[in-house]
A and B are shown apart, each in its own frame.
Chain A
Amino acid sequence: MSTPTPRRGSALLLLPIALIVLALALLFAWTGGWIGDKGVTPQTMVNTAEASGSPPPGFRRAHAKGICIAGTFTPTPAAAQLSTARVFSQPSTPVLGRFSNPGNDPHAPDNKAAVRGMALQLKTDDGQEWRMAMNSFPFFASSTPEGFQAMNAARLPDPATGQPDPEKMKAVLARHPEIANFMAWSKSAPTPNSLANTRFNGVNAFRLLDAKGESRAVRWSMRPHTPFVAADPAQLQGAASDFLAADLERRLAAGPLRWDMVMQFAAPGDPIEDPSKAWPDTRPETVAGTLTLVRAEPQADGACRDLNFDPLILPQGIAGTDDPVLHARSAVYSVSFNRREREVSQGAAQQGSAR
Protein backbone atom coordinates (compact mmCIF):
# COMPACT_ATOMS: atom_id res chain seq x y z
CA MET A 1 0.00 0.00 0.00
CA SER A 2 1.34 3.43 -0.88
CA THR A 3 -0.07 5.26 2.11
CA PRO A 4 2.24 7.51 4.11
CA THR A 5 4.01 5.82 7.01
CA PRO A 6 1.45 5.69 9.84
CA ARG A 7 2.17 6.69 13.40
CA ARG A 8 3.06 3.42 15.14
CA GLY A 9 1.55 2.45 18.47
CA SER A 10 3.63 1.78 21.54
CA ALA A 11 5.20 -1.70 21.81
CA LEU A 12 3.61 -1.80 25.27
CA LEU A 13 0.34 -2.55 23.46
CA LEU A 14 1.75 -6.04 22.82
CA LEU A 15 0.88 -6.73 26.46
CA PRO A 16 -2.93 -6.51 26.13
CA ILE A 17 -2.66 -8.56 22.92
CA ALA A 18 -0.74 -11.26 24.79
CA LEU A 19 -3.29 -11.16 27.63
CA ILE A 20 -6.25 -11.55 25.26
CA VAL A 21 -4.62 -14.52 23.54
CA LEU A 22 -3.64 -16.08 26.85
CA ALA A 23 -7.15 -15.64 28.27
CA LEU A 24 -8.69 -17.36 25.25
CA ALA A 25 -6.14 -20.19 25.43
CA LEU A 26 -6.83 -20.71 29.14
CA LEU A 27 -10.60 -20.66 28.59
CA PHE A 28 -10.20 -23.27 25.87
CA ALA A 29 -7.96 -25.43 28.05
CA TRP A 30 -10.48 -25.21 30.90
CA THR A 31 -13.39 -26.11 28.59
CA GLY A 32 -11.50 -29.18 27.41
CA GLY A 33 -10.63 -30.24 30.95
CA TRP A 34 -6.86 -29.71 30.55
CA ILE A 35 -6.82 -27.35 33.53
CA GLY A 36 -9.12 -27.11 36.55
CA ASP A 37 -11.23 -29.89 38.00
CA LYS A 38 -13.95 -31.22 35.72
CA GLY A 39 -14.96 -33.86 38.30
CA VAL A 40 -15.96 -37.21 36.83
CA THR A 41 -15.56 -37.28 33.04
CA PRO A 42 -16.24 -40.01 30.48
CA GLN A 43 -12.47 -40.47 30.29
CA THR A 44 -12.04 -41.04 34.04
CA MET A 45 -14.92 -43.55 33.98
CA VAL A 46 -13.31 -45.53 31.15
CA ASN A 47 -9.94 -45.33 32.93
CA THR A 48 -11.55 -46.96 35.98
CA ALA A 49 -13.16 -49.65 33.81
CA GLU A 50 -9.73 -50.34 32.32
CA ALA A 51 -8.09 -50.45 35.74
CA SER A 52 -10.37 -53.27 36.92
CA GLY A 53 -8.34 -55.74 34.86
CA SER A 54 -6.02 -55.63 31.88
CA PRO A 55 -8.28 -55.31 28.87
CA PRO A 56 -6.69 -56.60 25.68
CA PRO A 57 -6.43 -54.01 22.87
CA GLY A 58 -9.37 -53.69 20.51
CA PHE A 59 -12.02 -54.88 22.97
CA ARG A 60 -14.80 -52.96 24.68
CA ARG A 61 -13.75 -51.49 28.04
CA ALA A 62 -16.88 -52.88 29.65
CA HIS A 63 -19.02 -55.83 28.59
CA ALA A 64 -15.99 -57.03 26.62
CA LYS A 65 -17.19 -60.60 26.20
CA GLY A 66 -20.04 -61.00 23.79
CA ILE A 67 -21.70 -62.72 20.89
CA CYS A 68 -23.37 -61.16 17.84
CA ILE A 69 -27.05 -61.86 17.16
CA ALA A 70 -29.44 -61.17 14.30
CA GLY A 71 -33.18 -61.29 13.75
CA THR A 72 -36.21 -59.07 13.29
CA PHE A 73 -38.51 -56.80 15.26
CA THR A 74 -42.25 -56.91 14.57
CA PRO A 75 -44.41 -54.19 16.17
CA THR A 76 -47.89 -54.71 17.60
CA PRO A 77 -50.75 -52.57 16.23
CA ALA A 78 -50.84 -50.72 19.58
CA ALA A 79 -47.25 -49.51 19.19
CA ALA A 80 -47.99 -47.15 16.29
CA GLN A 81 -50.37 -45.24 18.58
CA LEU A 82 -47.60 -44.61 21.09
CA SER A 83 -44.85 -43.27 18.87
CA THR A 84 -44.36 -42.02 15.33
CA ALA A 85 -41.10 -43.96 15.07
CA ARG A 86 -41.10 -45.90 11.80
CA VAL A 87 -40.07 -49.05 13.64
CA PHE A 88 -43.59 -49.21 15.11
CA SER A 89 -45.39 -48.93 11.77
CA GLN A 90 -43.05 -50.84 9.46
CA PRO A 91 -44.26 -54.48 9.34
CA SER A 92 -40.83 -55.86 10.22
CA THR A 93 -37.40 -54.35 10.90
CA PRO A 94 -34.08 -56.21 10.65
CA VAL A 95 -32.18 -56.34 13.94
CA LEU A 96 -28.48 -56.65 14.59
CA GLY A 97 -27.40 -57.07 18.19
CA ARG A 98 -25.10 -58.40 20.83
CA PHE A 99 -25.35 -60.37 24.06
CA SER A 100 -22.61 -59.53 26.54
CA ASN A 101 -21.12 -60.26 29.93
CA PRO A 102 -19.92 -57.46 32.20
CA GLY A 103 -16.27 -56.70 32.92
CA ASN A 104 -13.39 -55.95 30.63
CA ASP A 105 -12.08 -59.51 30.21
CA PRO A 106 -13.33 -60.94 26.89
CA HIS A 107 -12.33 -64.45 28.01
CA ALA A 108 -13.90 -64.45 31.48
CA PRO A 109 -15.92 -67.59 32.24
CA ASP A 110 -19.69 -67.20 31.83
CA ASN A 111 -20.41 -68.51 35.32
CA LYS A 112 -18.81 -65.36 36.77
CA ALA A 113 -21.27 -63.13 34.89
CA ALA A 114 -24.08 -62.28 37.30
CA VAL A 115 -25.37 -59.61 34.96
CA ARG A 116 -25.89 -59.91 31.21
CA GLY A 117 -26.45 -57.38 28.46
CA MET A 118 -28.49 -57.22 25.29
CA ALA A 119 -27.72 -54.49 22.77
CA LEU A 120 -29.72 -53.93 19.58
CA GLN A 121 -29.56 -51.87 16.41
CA LEU A 122 -32.76 -51.41 14.39
CA LYS A 123 -32.58 -49.67 11.01
CA THR A 124 -35.90 -48.83 9.36
CA ASP A 125 -36.63 -48.23 5.67
CA ASP A 126 -36.74 -44.44 6.19
CA GLY A 127 -33.04 -44.48 7.14
CA GLN A 128 -33.73 -43.90 10.84
CA GLU A 129 -31.80 -45.84 13.41
CA TRP A 130 -32.45 -46.99 16.96
CA ARG A 131 -29.72 -48.38 19.14
CA MET A 132 -30.31 -49.64 22.64
CA ALA A 133 -28.23 -51.26 25.34
CA MET A 134 -30.18 -53.20 27.98
CA ASN A 135 -29.16 -55.17 31.04
CA SER A 136 -30.54 -58.04 33.08
CA PHE A 137 -30.66 -55.92 36.25
CA PRO A 138 -34.05 -54.31 36.95
CA PHE A 139 -32.62 -50.95 38.06
CA PHE A 140 -29.27 -49.23 37.88
CA ALA A 141 -26.72 -49.34 40.70
CA SER A 142 -26.69 -45.59 41.28
CA SER A 143 -28.81 -42.49 40.61
CA THR A 144 -25.85 -40.69 39.09
CA PRO A 145 -22.75 -41.46 37.05
CA GLU A 146 -20.71 -40.02 39.95
CA GLY A 147 -22.13 -42.63 42.32
CA PHE A 148 -21.45 -45.43 39.83
CA GLN A 149 -17.91 -44.20 39.30
CA ALA A 150 -17.31 -43.99 43.07
CA MET A 151 -18.59 -47.57 43.48
CA ASN A 152 -16.32 -48.90 40.72
CA ALA A 153 -13.32 -46.98 42.05
CA ALA A 154 -13.94 -48.43 45.53
CA ARG A 155 -13.98 -51.95 44.05
CA LEU A 156 -10.47 -51.55 42.63
CA PRO A 157 -7.76 -53.34 44.63
CA ASP A 158 -5.86 -51.18 47.09
CA PRO A 159 -2.20 -51.04 45.97
CA ALA A 160 -1.04 -51.79 49.55
CA THR A 161 -3.10 -54.94 50.17
CA GLY A 162 -4.05 -56.10 46.69
CA GLN A 163 -7.66 -56.20 47.94
CA PRO A 164 -10.46 -53.63 47.73
CA ASP A 165 -10.57 -51.49 50.86
CA PRO A 166 -13.94 -52.12 52.64
CA GLU A 167 -13.74 -48.70 54.30
CA LYS A 168 -13.84 -47.06 50.86
CA MET A 169 -17.00 -48.93 49.94
CA LYS A 170 -18.58 -47.95 53.26
CA ALA A 171 -17.86 -44.30 52.49
CA VAL A 172 -19.37 -44.67 49.01
CA LEU A 173 -22.52 -46.27 50.45
CA ALA A 174 -22.85 -43.44 52.95
CA ARG A 175 -22.73 -40.88 50.14
CA HIS A 176 -24.78 -42.92 47.62
CA PRO A 177 -27.13 -45.04 49.79
CA GLU A 178 -29.16 -46.25 46.79
CA ILE A 179 -26.22 -48.49 45.80
CA ALA A 180 -27.10 -50.78 48.74
CA ASN A 181 -30.38 -51.73 46.96
CA PHE A 182 -28.42 -52.88 43.95
CA MET A 183 -26.01 -54.88 46.07
CA ALA A 184 -28.93 -56.57 47.83
CA TRP A 185 -30.49 -57.38 44.44
CA SER A 186 -27.29 -58.91 43.06
CA LYS A 187 -26.90 -61.07 46.19
CA SER A 188 -30.43 -62.44 46.14
CA ALA A 189 -31.65 -62.48 42.52
CA PRO A 190 -31.52 -65.91 40.88
CA THR A 191 -29.39 -66.09 37.72
CA PRO A 192 -31.22 -67.44 34.66
CA ASN A 193 -29.61 -70.55 33.20
CA SER A 194 -29.71 -69.24 29.63
CA LEU A 195 -29.62 -66.01 27.66
CA ALA A 196 -32.85 -67.18 26.03
CA ASN A 197 -34.85 -66.92 29.26
CA THR A 198 -33.23 -63.73 30.54
CA ARG A 199 -35.28 -60.57 30.80
CA PHE A 200 -33.42 -57.46 29.65
CA ASN A 201 -34.32 -54.00 30.91
CA GLY A 202 -33.73 -50.62 29.32
CA VAL A 203 -33.38 -49.27 32.90
CA ASN A 204 -33.19 -45.62 31.73
CA ALA A 205 -36.36 -43.69 30.90
CA PHE A 206 -37.15 -42.42 27.42
CA ARG A 207 -40.01 -40.48 25.87
CA LEU A 208 -42.32 -41.80 23.18
CA LEU A 209 -43.73 -39.05 20.95
CA ASP A 210 -47.03 -39.78 19.21
CA ALA A 211 -48.66 -38.27 16.13
CA LYS A 212 -50.69 -35.83 18.26
CA GLY A 213 -47.48 -34.41 19.65
CA GLU A 214 -48.01 -35.99 23.04
CA SER A 215 -45.08 -37.40 24.92
CA ARG A 216 -45.05 -40.26 27.44
CA ALA A 217 -42.20 -41.27 29.73
CA VAL A 218 -41.48 -44.99 29.43
CA ARG A 219 -39.03 -47.65 30.44
CA TRP A 220 -38.91 -50.72 28.25
CA SER A 221 -37.90 -54.30 28.77
CA MET A 222 -37.46 -57.40 26.64
CA ARG A 223 -39.40 -60.27 28.23
CA PRO A 224 -38.46 -63.74 27.03
CA HIS A 225 -41.02 -66.20 25.66
CA THR A 226 -38.72 -68.96 26.92
CA PRO A 227 -39.77 -69.80 30.50
CA PHE A 228 -37.44 -68.72 33.27
CA VAL A 229 -35.24 -71.41 34.80
CA ALA A 230 -32.80 -70.43 37.52
CA ALA A 231 -29.27 -71.72 37.14
CA ASP A 232 -28.42 -74.31 39.75
CA PRO A 233 -25.49 -72.83 41.75
CA ALA A 234 -23.70 -76.19 41.87
CA GLN A 235 -24.09 -76.72 38.13
CA LEU A 236 -23.00 -73.15 37.49
CA GLN A 237 -19.76 -73.87 39.36
CA GLY A 238 -18.79 -76.60 36.93
CA ALA A 239 -20.20 -74.97 33.79
CA ALA A 240 -17.99 -74.58 30.71
CA SER A 241 -16.43 -71.16 30.20
CA ASP A 242 -18.59 -70.33 27.16
CA PHE A 243 -21.72 -72.23 28.19
CA LEU A 244 -24.02 -69.26 27.48
CA ALA A 245 -22.96 -69.01 23.82
CA ALA A 246 -23.08 -72.79 23.39
CA ASP A 247 -26.59 -72.89 24.90
CA LEU A 248 -27.71 -70.01 22.70
CA GLU A 249 -26.46 -71.67 19.53
CA ARG A 250 -28.07 -74.96 20.49
CA ARG A 251 -31.42 -73.27 21.07
CA LEU A 252 -31.21 -71.21 17.86
CA ALA A 253 -30.45 -74.35 15.88
CA ALA A 254 -33.79 -75.70 17.14
CA GLY A 255 -35.74 -72.54 16.26
CA PRO A 256 -36.01 -68.77 16.71
CA LEU A 257 -36.01 -67.19 20.18
CA ARG A 258 -38.49 -64.47 21.06
CA TRP A 259 -38.82 -61.59 23.49
CA ASP A 260 -41.75 -59.20 23.88
CA MET A 261 -40.79 -55.55 24.06
CA VAL A 262 -42.91 -54.12 26.89
CA MET A 263 -43.33 -50.40 27.46
CA GLN A 264 -43.96 -49.42 31.08
CA PHE A 265 -45.55 -45.99 31.54
CA ALA A 266 -44.61 -43.63 34.35
CA ALA A 267 -47.32 -42.28 36.63
CA PRO A 268 -47.12 -38.65 37.77
CA GLY A 269 -44.41 -38.38 40.40
CA ASP A 270 -42.46 -41.47 39.32
CA PRO A 271 -38.69 -40.90 39.30
CA ILE A 272 -38.10 -40.49 35.58
CA GLU A 273 -34.54 -39.26 35.92
CA ASP A 274 -33.40 -41.76 38.56
CA PRO A 275 -32.60 -45.18 37.03
CA SER A 276 -31.75 -46.63 40.46
CA LYS A 277 -35.47 -46.63 41.34
CA ALA A 278 -37.70 -49.11 39.54
CA TRP A 279 -41.26 -47.96 38.94
CA PRO A 280 -43.93 -50.08 40.68
CA ASP A 281 -44.97 -53.24 38.79
CA THR A 282 -48.54 -51.94 38.86
CA ARG A 283 -47.81 -49.21 36.30
CA PRO A 284 -49.66 -49.67 32.99
CA GLU A 285 -47.76 -51.61 30.35
CA THR A 286 -48.15 -52.17 26.62
CA VAL A 287 -46.49 -54.78 24.45
CA ALA A 288 -44.92 -52.75 21.63
CA GLY A 289 -43.59 -55.61 19.57
CA THR A 290 -41.73 -58.88 19.41
CA LEU A 291 -38.03 -59.43 18.93
CA THR A 292 -37.24 -62.65 17.08
CA LEU A 293 -33.64 -63.84 17.06
CA VAL A 294 -32.68 -66.37 14.42
CA ARG A 295 -28.92 -66.35 14.31
CA ALA A 296 -25.80 -65.85 16.46
CA GLU A 297 -22.18 -65.50 15.42
CA PRO A 298 -18.89 -65.00 17.28
CA GLN A 299 -18.06 -61.33 17.76
CA ALA A 300 -14.48 -61.86 16.44
CA ASP A 301 -15.70 -61.29 12.89
CA GLY A 302 -19.33 -60.51 13.64
CA ALA A 303 -21.25 -57.46 12.49
CA CYS A 304 -21.81 -56.27 16.08
CA ARG A 305 -18.10 -55.91 16.84
CA ASP A 306 -17.41 -52.44 15.47
CA LEU A 307 -20.71 -50.84 16.47
CA ASN A 308 -21.11 -48.51 19.40
CA PHE A 309 -24.50 -49.37 20.94
CA ASP A 310 -24.99 -45.78 22.08
CA PRO A 311 -28.42 -45.65 23.80
CA LEU A 312 -28.94 -42.06 22.63
CA ILE A 313 -28.95 -42.99 18.94
CA LEU A 314 -32.72 -42.75 18.62
CA PRO A 315 -35.14 -42.44 15.73
CA GLN A 316 -37.68 -39.64 15.29
CA GLY A 317 -40.54 -40.43 17.66
CA ILE A 318 -38.33 -41.55 20.57
CA ALA A 319 -36.27 -39.17 22.71
CA GLY A 320 -34.01 -39.44 25.72
CA THR A 321 -34.92 -38.02 29.14
CA ASP A 322 -32.62 -35.99 31.38
CA ASP A 323 -31.65 -39.16 33.28
CA PRO A 324 -27.95 -38.36 33.93
CA VAL A 325 -26.94 -42.03 33.75
CA LEU A 326 -28.39 -42.30 30.24
CA HIS A 327 -26.31 -39.35 29.07
CA ALA A 328 -23.22 -40.65 30.82
CA ARG A 329 -23.59 -44.06 29.18
CA SER A 330 -23.66 -42.42 25.78
CA ALA A 331 -20.54 -40.39 26.60
CA VAL A 332 -18.61 -43.30 28.13
CA TYR A 333 -19.42 -45.77 25.32
CA SER A 334 -18.11 -43.22 22.87
CA VAL A 335 -14.75 -42.99 24.68
CA SER A 336 -14.50 -46.79 24.85
CA PHE A 337 -15.32 -47.02 21.13
CA ASN A 338 -12.74 -44.35 20.22
CA ARG A 339 -10.03 -46.14 22.17
CA ARG A 340 -10.69 -49.61 20.80
CA GLU A 341 -11.13 -48.53 17.19
CA ARG A 342 -7.87 -46.64 17.43
CA GLU A 343 -6.20 -49.83 18.59
CA VAL A 344 -7.77 -51.65 15.63
CA SER A 345 -6.41 -49.05 13.20
CA GLN A 346 -2.97 -49.28 14.78
CA GLY A 347 -2.99 -53.04 14.31
CA ALA A 348 -2.70 -53.56 18.05
CA ALA A 349 -6.04 -55.33 18.41
CA GLN A 350 -5.91 -58.98 19.31
CA GLN A 351 -7.67 -61.30 16.92
CA GLY A 352 -8.94 -63.57 19.69
CA SER A 353 -12.09 -65.54 19.04
CA ALA A 354 -13.98 -63.67 21.74
CA ARG A 355 -13.31 -60.24 20.35
Chain B
Amino acid sequence: MNRPRHFNLLARVLHWSMAVAILAMLFVGTAMVVSLRHREALLDLHRPLGLAILLLAIVRLANRLRHAPPPLPDDLPRLQVWAAKASHWALYALMLALPLIGWAMLSAGAYPVLLFGGVELPPLLPHSPTMYGILRPLHGVLAYVLFFTILAHLAAALYHAWVRRDGVFGQMARGERAE
Protein backbone atom coordinates (compact mmCIF):
# COMPACT_ATOMS: atom_id res chain seq x y z
CA MET B 1 0.00 0.00 0.00
CA ASN B 2 1.32 3.41 -0.92
CA ARG B 3 1.65 5.81 1.98
CA PRO B 4 0.17 9.24 1.18
CA ARG B 5 2.55 12.17 0.79
CA HIS B 6 0.33 14.47 2.84
CA PHE B 7 -2.04 14.32 5.78
CA ASN B 8 -5.63 14.14 4.55
CA LEU B 9 -7.77 17.26 4.47
CA LEU B 10 -9.67 16.38 7.67
CA ALA B 11 -6.37 15.86 9.52
CA ARG B 12 -5.02 19.20 8.28
CA VAL B 13 -8.18 21.13 9.13
CA LEU B 14 -8.31 19.56 12.59
CA HIS B 15 -4.61 20.14 13.18
CA TRP B 16 -4.64 23.86 12.47
CA SER B 17 -7.99 24.65 14.07
CA MET B 18 -7.07 22.69 17.18
CA ALA B 19 -3.66 24.35 17.29
CA VAL B 20 -5.43 27.70 17.67
CA ALA B 21 -8.01 26.31 20.11
CA ILE B 22 -5.48 24.53 22.33
CA LEU B 23 -3.07 27.45 22.50
CA ALA B 24 -5.98 29.78 23.35
CA MET B 25 -7.14 27.26 25.95
CA LEU B 26 -3.70 27.05 27.59
CA PHE B 27 -3.39 30.84 27.81
CA VAL B 28 -6.96 31.20 29.10
CA GLY B 29 -6.32 28.54 31.72
CA THR B 30 -3.05 29.93 32.96
CA ALA B 31 -4.45 33.49 33.04
CA MET B 32 -7.70 32.67 34.83
CA VAL B 33 -6.12 31.02 37.88
CA VAL B 34 -4.19 34.20 38.73
CA SER B 35 -6.89 36.69 37.76
CA LEU B 36 -8.84 38.58 40.43
CA ARG B 37 -11.31 40.17 38.01
CA HIS B 38 -11.65 37.98 34.92
CA ARG B 39 -11.76 34.47 36.34
CA GLU B 40 -15.49 34.02 35.73
CA ALA B 41 -15.38 35.23 32.11
CA LEU B 42 -12.30 33.12 31.32
CA LEU B 43 -13.78 30.06 33.05
CA ASP B 44 -17.02 30.48 31.09
CA LEU B 45 -14.89 30.22 27.93
CA HIS B 46 -12.60 27.48 29.29
CA ARG B 47 -15.31 24.86 29.92
CA PRO B 48 -17.10 24.83 26.51
CA LEU B 49 -13.80 25.22 24.65
CA GLY B 50 -12.43 22.24 26.59
CA LEU B 51 -15.41 20.12 25.60
CA ALA B 52 -15.00 21.20 21.96
CA ILE B 53 -11.33 20.18 22.04
CA LEU B 54 -12.25 16.80 23.58
CA LEU B 55 -14.80 16.07 20.83
CA LEU B 56 -12.43 17.23 18.06
CA ALA B 57 -9.62 15.12 19.56
CA ILE B 58 -11.82 12.02 19.40
CA VAL B 59 -12.61 12.68 15.71
CA ARG B 60 -8.93 13.34 15.09
CA LEU B 61 -7.78 10.13 16.77
CA ALA B 62 -10.33 8.09 14.77
CA ASN B 63 -9.14 9.73 11.55
CA ARG B 64 -5.50 9.11 12.47
CA LEU B 65 -6.17 5.41 13.19
CA ARG B 66 -8.08 4.96 9.88
CA HIS B 67 -5.67 6.87 7.67
CA ALA B 68 -1.94 6.19 7.79
CA PRO B 69 0.08 9.40 8.04
CA PRO B 70 2.70 10.27 5.42
CA PRO B 71 6.08 8.65 6.17
CA LEU B 72 9.00 10.48 7.74
CA PRO B 73 12.11 10.94 5.54
CA ASP B 74 14.29 7.80 5.23
CA ASP B 75 17.39 9.68 6.31
CA LEU B 76 15.92 11.09 9.51
CA PRO B 77 18.13 10.03 12.47
CA ARG B 78 16.59 7.28 14.59
CA LEU B 79 16.44 9.40 17.72
CA GLN B 80 14.47 12.08 15.87
CA VAL B 81 12.09 9.45 14.47
CA TRP B 82 11.54 8.16 17.98
CA ALA B 83 11.05 11.71 19.34
CA ALA B 84 8.57 12.51 16.56
CA LYS B 85 6.48 9.41 17.24
CA ALA B 86 6.61 9.71 21.04
CA SER B 87 5.69 13.41 21.02
CA HIS B 88 2.77 12.83 18.67
CA TRP B 89 1.29 10.13 20.88
CA ALA B 90 1.93 12.35 23.93
CA LEU B 91 0.02 15.16 22.22
CA TYR B 92 -2.92 12.85 21.49
CA ALA B 93 -2.92 11.56 25.07
CA LEU B 94 -2.86 15.08 26.53
CA MET B 95 -5.51 16.47 24.14
CA LEU B 96 -7.87 13.74 25.34
CA ALA B 97 -6.78 13.61 29.00
CA LEU B 98 -6.85 17.31 29.89
CA PRO B 99 -10.53 17.97 29.10
CA LEU B 100 -11.54 14.69 30.74
CA ILE B 101 -9.53 15.48 33.87
CA GLY B 102 -11.00 19.00 33.94
CA TRP B 103 -14.53 17.61 33.72
CA ALA B 104 -13.86 14.88 36.30
CA MET B 105 -12.15 17.36 38.61
CA LEU B 106 -15.10 19.78 38.61
CA SER B 107 -17.45 16.85 39.28
CA ALA B 108 -15.31 15.64 42.19
CA GLY B 109 -15.24 19.19 43.59
CA ALA B 110 -19.09 19.32 43.49
CA TYR B 111 -18.98 22.17 40.98
CA PRO B 112 -21.66 22.39 38.31
CA VAL B 113 -20.06 21.79 34.88
CA LEU B 114 -21.77 24.64 33.03
CA LEU B 115 -21.35 25.11 29.29
CA PHE B 116 -23.52 28.04 28.21
CA GLY B 117 -27.14 29.14 28.39
CA GLY B 118 -27.76 26.92 31.40
CA VAL B 119 -26.64 23.75 29.57
CA GLU B 120 -24.75 21.56 31.98
CA LEU B 121 -22.69 18.37 31.65
CA PRO B 122 -23.50 15.47 33.98
CA PRO B 123 -20.87 14.74 36.63
CA LEU B 124 -18.14 12.34 35.52
CA LEU B 125 -17.30 11.40 39.12
CA PRO B 126 -19.17 11.56 42.43
CA HIS B 127 -18.33 14.36 44.90
CA SER B 128 -14.97 13.38 46.38
CA PRO B 129 -12.58 15.77 48.14
CA THR B 130 -9.80 13.21 47.77
CA MET B 131 -10.24 12.91 44.00
CA TYR B 132 -10.56 16.69 43.64
CA GLY B 133 -7.38 17.16 45.68
CA ILE B 134 -5.54 14.87 43.25
CA LEU B 135 -7.12 15.87 39.92
CA ARG B 136 -6.98 19.66 40.38
CA PRO B 137 -3.15 19.83 40.66
CA LEU B 138 -2.82 17.13 37.97
CA HIS B 139 -4.87 19.27 35.55
CA GLY B 140 -2.48 22.18 36.06
CA VAL B 141 0.71 20.12 35.79
CA LEU B 142 -0.42 18.31 32.62
CA ALA B 143 -1.40 21.64 31.06
CA TYR B 144 2.21 22.79 31.47
CA VAL B 145 3.44 19.44 30.07
CA LEU B 146 1.15 19.96 27.05
CA PHE B 147 2.41 23.51 26.54
CA PHE B 148 6.06 22.40 26.55
CA THR B 149 5.29 19.45 24.26
CA ILE B 150 3.64 21.89 21.84
CA LEU B 151 6.73 24.14 21.99
CA ALA B 152 8.95 21.13 21.15
CA HIS B 153 6.56 20.16 18.33
CA LEU B 154 6.66 23.71 16.96
CA ALA B 155 10.46 23.86 17.15
CA ALA B 156 10.74 20.50 15.36
CA ALA B 157 8.25 21.57 12.67
CA LEU B 158 10.22 24.78 11.97
CA TYR B 159 13.47 22.80 11.97
CA HIS B 160 12.00 20.56 9.26
CA ALA B 161 10.71 23.61 7.34
CA TRP B 162 13.72 25.91 7.51
CA VAL B 163 16.79 23.78 8.22
CA ARG B 164 16.19 20.24 6.95
CA ARG B 165 13.79 21.38 4.19
CA ASP B 166 12.71 17.75 3.83
CA GLY B 167 9.01 18.23 3.05
CA VAL B 168 7.80 17.15 6.51
CA PHE B 169 6.33 20.59 7.26
CA GLY B 170 4.49 20.57 3.92
CA GLN B 171 2.84 17.25 4.80
CA MET B 172 0.66 19.16 7.26
CA ALA B 173 0.77 22.61 5.64
CA ARG B 174 -0.36 21.66 2.13
CA GLY B 175 -2.53 19.16 0.26
CA GLU B 176 -1.60 16.95 -2.71
CA ARG B 177 -2.67 19.42 -5.41
CA ALA B 178 -0.77 22.34 -4.06
CA GLU B 179 2.55 20.64 -4.90
Interface residues of A (CB under 8 A from B): 1-3, 5-11, 13-14, 16-18, 20-21, 24-25, 27-28, 31-33, 38, 40-43, 45, 127-129, 145, 306-308, 310, 312-313, 315-316, 320, 324, 327-328, 330-332, 334, 337-338, 341-346
Contacts and interface: CB of A to CB of B under 8 A. Distances in A.
A136 to B, nearest CB: 24
A330 B39 contact: yes
A147 to B, nearest CB: 12
A10 B71 CA distance: 24
Interface in B123-172: 127, 129-134, 136-137, 147, 151, 154-155, 158-159, 162-167
- Can you list the 6 inter-chain pairs with the closest CB atoms, starting with the nearest? A345-B133, A32-B30, A316-B118, A33-B34, A341-B133, A13-B162
29 contacts: A3-B73, A3-B167, A6-B165, A9-B162, A10-B163, A11-B163, A16-B162, A17-B158, A20-B154, A24-B151, A24-B154, A28-B147, A40-B36, A41-B35, A42-B35, A128-B112, A307-B110, A308-B109, A313-B111, A315-B118, A316-B117, A324-B36, A327-B36, A327-B37, A330-B39, A338-B137, A343-B133, A345-B129, A345-B131
Given A21-B155, A313-B112, A341-B132, A31 B39 contact: no
Nearest to B164: A8
Interface in B49-88: 70-75
A31 B130 contact: no
Contact of A1 (B36, B71, B137, B154): B71
Given A17-B155, A42-B34, A344-B129, A127 B163 contact: no
Contacts, number: 134
A342 B151 CA distance: 29
Given A334-B39, A338-B136, A25 B151 contact: yes
Contacts of A14: 159, 163
Contact of A128 (B37, B74, B118, B131): B118
Contacts of A313: 111-112
Nearest to B29: A32
B27 interface: yes
A96 B137 CA distance: 27
B37 to A, nearest CB: 5
Given A28-B27, A28-B147, A345-B133, 16 more contacts: A5-B75, A8-B164, A11-B163, A13-B163, A14-B163, A17-B158, A17-B163, A21-B151, A128-B112, A306-B132, A307-B110, A308-B109, A308-B110, A327-B39, A341-B129, A344-B129
Interface residues of B, number: 47
Given A20-B158, A28-B30, A313-B111, A41 B134 contact: no
Interface string B31-42: 101111111100
Contact of A345 (B35, B118, B134): B134
Contacts of A25: 151
A1 B167 contact: yes
B176 interface: no
B18 interface: no
B31 A17 contact: no
A191 B98 CA distance: 48
Contacts of B45: none
Contact of A328 (B36, B71, B73, B133): B36
A128 B117 CA distance: 11
Task: Pick the most buried of A313, A334, A346: most chain B CB atoms within 10 A of its CB.
Answer: A334
Given A7-B165, A129-B112, A341-B129, A42 B30 contact: no
Contacts of B109: 308, 337, 341
Contacts of A342: 133, 136-137
Contact of B74 (A1, A20, A33, A344): A1
B68 to A, nearest CB: 14
Contacts of B159: 14, 17
Contacts of A28: 26-27, 30, 147
Given A327-B36, A328-B37, A127 B129 contact: no
